[in-house]
Amino acid sequence: MNKLKKVTKELAKLGLGGDVQASEFRKSVRLTGHVGSWDEKVAAGFAAANRGYKGVLNDITVEGVGEEKIYRYDPGDRDLEGRYFDVLIIGGGIIGCATARELARYDISIAILEKEEDLAMQTSSRNDGMIHPGFAAHPGSKKAHYNILGNRMYTKWAEELGFELKRPGSLVLFPSRLEKYLVPLMKMRARKNGVDGHYRYISRKKVFEMEPNVTEDQQGAFFLPSAGIISPYKATIAMAENALQNGADVFLNCFVESFEMDGGRIASVRIGRGTVKCGAVINCAGNFADIIAELADDRFFSLHGRKGTECILDRNTGLTQHSILSMPRLIQRKSKTKGGGVVPCIEGNILLGPTAEEQPWREDFSTDRGHFQELLQKLDLNTKLSGSSVITYFSGIRPASWEEDFIIEPSERVANLVHGAAIQSPGVASAPAIAVDLAKMTVDILSKDKTVEEKTGFNPRRTVSYHQIETVEERREMVGKNPLYGNIICRCETISEQEIRDVLRGPIPVNSLDGVKRRIRAGAGRCHGGFCTPKIMEIISDELGIPMVEITRKGDSSPVLSGEAK
């Protein structure tokens, strides 16, 4: 049967009515028509995927779902007008920043263009920070390939860039004895994917030796020792700071609006701050990567956002659990998530999550009671956890393709465009490996027009003037040098005035409360800024010379104060 007929037949099985049609668009399949619910549109997208087309363009409209207003803020200046960069990277998430760092090894000019007021403001700060072992990804997929390589690379990247990485390992718990029979299958998948470490079956007795607080009903587990954890936003910022140190630029509040094309190439990129000329463009725009492809007339995929909500538990909960705890997903073949679980964070908190829900919006990070209730059920895995430990919750949106795999390739239509798109989970775990390939593809493009050589002076080690003081001994030593390291502002996380001032003098401009929090966790503790927010604002105001009323939580749309009272 020809592939279009196959798609049409699959759509017919869904019973969506005659209003949904499939047609061919270049090498992809395009769905059009109108349906009554988002779930129907999603079902159609999956029905058309993996039928031999390059991608699925799901243009079905949905009753009651209109256009989304995308956040953008233009500072109003035109300071980038007419500038040239060899490479423009669209998106300052972990993929864009890791790629900038890889490219900074070469003697070329590089700029990251990010629409938000800081880096890692979208999916790269809204996740579990798990360096997955590479077991869950489908064998043979790009996800599996990059996850395995990325996981391996993190040891070196964390050491060079000075962010914390731990490898507590992951216990896939067996709630009944039956799951033990899955172990040969699990081993086979781990072997096929090339998972590192001595992954193995762990008996019930051994599970309780490793994790004494796990609930009684667990009957054993599959242990994957290479699973790790990082702070995803600290890692993203560290990657960008090292790129900067090696000559790259970062421009924030830079929304990419359109491209000027010339003979099948992107000649320049239009942003609010000017029109910037370029040698090549890398599309790392996360949930907007399909829009960027369309702007370049390279439409071959469309994304659908899958929201995931997480709960953050108090910092002391980390003492009750060492490993990442999850449930087996191998038997739930239709699931579109690895299932999450109870995940220790690098800072000591525990995360519950994530959930998975298809939604039309690319930037709706709201949370709701239903998700919260669903997450609380995960508390059942650890007897020492309870709902009273919850500090807050948040959501992120996974940018999924209909094929459920990463898109990492040079454009087939635009000579100087490379896509790092549809990077849903395990995107954090895969980032270093994806970055190596995106950088190589870009260097190949640039090399057609000029000689691209590796820099002799590339320094892989990040050196920045700020960091979070971790021990009493270090604090004592620092206070001896400067008493402001003893003026504790954030009591929950023990962050001093001088640590905050150091952040504000860092290489990437920070002027919001969340920008400070993302770097040294001031305001991220139990009280969640309830006590320290005014003090942090005073420090920002004093250090940067901006009035208190201009300080925001996370950029232009989030003022903290409404005006001056006295």
Ligand X SMILES: Cc1cc2nc3c(=O)[nH]c(=O)nc-3n(C[C@H](O)[C@H](O)[C@H](O)COP(=O)(O)OP(=O)(O)OC[C@H]3O[C@@H](n4cnc5c(N)ncnc54)[C@H](O)[C@@H]3O)c2cc1C
Residue sitting closest to ligand X (CB): 427
For ligand X, the closer CB: 313 or 429: 429
Residue 518 binds ligand X (CB under 6 A): no
| Interface stretch with ligand X, choices 4-12, 114-122, 169-177, 242-250 (CB under 6 A) | 114-122
How far is C-alpha 391 from the chain's CA centre?
A: 21
Long-range CB contacts (within 8 A, 24+) of 151-156: 151/196, 151/226, 151/228, 151/429, 152/196, 153/432, 153/433, 153/436, 154/228, 154/230, 154/429, 154/432
| Interface stretch with ligand X, choices 117-125, 182-190, 465-473, 524-532 (CB under 6 A) | 117-125
CB of 309 to ligand X, least distance (A): 7
Residue among 323, 349, 425, 533 that touches ligand X (CB under 6 A): 425
Task: Count the Cβ atoms, other than its own, within 10 Å of residue 243.
Answer: 27
- Site residues for ligand X, 269-298, by CB under 6 A, read 284-288
Query: Which of 132, 145, 304, 371 does the annotation list as catalytic?
Result: 132
Half-sphere exposure of 269 (CA within 13 A, CB side): 29
Residue among 116, 358, 493, 514 that touches ligand X (CB under 6 A): 116
For ligand X, the closer CB: 122 or 242: 122
Residue 344 binds ligand X (CB under 6 A): no
Half-sphere exposure of 256 (CA within 13 A, CB side): 31
For ligand X, the closer CB: 424 or 442: 424
Q: Which is nearest to 374 in space by CA: 315, 312, 310?
A: 310
For ligand X, the closer CB: 317 or 496: 317
Residue 354 binds ligand X (CB under 6 A): yes
For ligand X, the closer CB: 178 or 267: 267
Q: Say how many residues touch ligand X, by CB under 6 A.
A: 42
| Residue labelled with tokens 């779902």 | 65
Binding mask 118-137 for ligand X (x = CB under 6 A): ---xxxx-xxxxx-x-----
- Gyration radius of the chain's alpha carbons: 24
Q: Which two tokens stand for residue 284?
A: 């790392």
Is 287 within 8 Å of 122 (Cβ atoms)?
A: yes
Q: What single letter denotes the amino acid at residue 336?
A: K
- Site residues for ligand X, 36-55, by CB under 6 A, read none
Residue among 40, 86, 102, 114 that touches ligand X (CB under 6 A): 114
Residue 308 binds ligand X (CB under 6 A): yes
What is the SS3 assignment for 270?
strand
Is 132 an active-site residue? yes
CB of 127 to ligand X, least distance (A): 3
* Cα gap 559→423, rounded to integer Å: 31
- Site residues for ligand X, 310-329, by CB under 6 A, read 310
* Cα gap 440→445, rounded to integer Å: 9
DSSP string, 477-535: HHHHH-GGGGSEEETTTTEEHHHHHHHHTSSS---BHHHHHHHH-TT-STTTTTTTHHH
Is 215 within 8 Å of 381 (Cβ atoms)?
A: yes
For ligand X, the closer CB: 31 or 238: 238
| Residue labelled with tokens 């949370």 | 367
CB of 512 to ligand X, least distance (A): 14
> CA angle 359-307-90, nearest 5°?
95
Residue among 33, 55, 93, 220 that touches ligand X (CB under 6 A): 93
Residue among 33, 45, 55, 91 that touches ligand X (CB under 6 A): 91
Residue 424 binds ligand X (CB under 6 A): yes
- Site residues for ligand X, 218-277, by CB under 6 A, read 254-256
CB of 562 to ligand X, least distance (A): 26
CB burial readout 492-502, b (16+ within 10 A) else e: bbbbbbbbbbb
Active site amino acids: 132
Return residues touching ligand X (CB under 6 A): 90-96, 113-116, 121-124, 126-130, 132, 254-256, 284-288, 308, 310, 354, 396-398, 423-429
